Amino acid sequence: MTADQILAEIREANLSYLMLAQSLIRTDREQALFRLGVNEETAAMISALTPAQMMKIAGGNTLLCRFRMDDELVWSLLTSHGKGAANESVNRLHASILMAGRHQEAA
């Protein structure tokens, strides 16, 4: 993949992320705050963006979204690393609880 292709992919991901975020915020603000990991002020700003503003922001070369699971325990739970498929739903629930707690701490 060339540098230009990577930049094009980043721009596309940014626009998709902004459109999804805006839709989530407008549909169910509380769920959006949790799922996106943003605060009320950021949600208000994203919700108010015009299509032209979203295109301009998405056109940058920096990825707007990031992985919120920066901890080995959460990744292990999500990937069920070393565990059977029977525990997959329990592992995902455990990971969700951990991430929800971290969202509360950040808010």
In contact, 99 and 92? CB cutoff 8 Å: no
Give the integer Cα–Cα distance in Å for 83 and 76.
9
What value does the mean pLDDT of the chain take?
83
Domain 1-66 carries which CATH code?
1.10.4000.10
Every domain of the chain and the residues it spans: 1-66, 67-107
Check pLDDT > 70 for residue 101.
Answer: no
Measured CA angle at 16 (ends 63, 23), to 5 deg: 120
Check pLDDT > 60 for residue 106.
Answer: no
Please give the average per-residue pLDDT across 16-21, as a whole number: 97
User: Where is pLDDT greater, at 34 or 24?
Assistant: 24
If pLDDT is split at 50, 70 and 90, which confidence band does 39 have?
very high
Please give the average per-residue pLDDT across 25-37, as a whole number: 93
Check pLDDT > 70 for residue 51.
Answer: yes
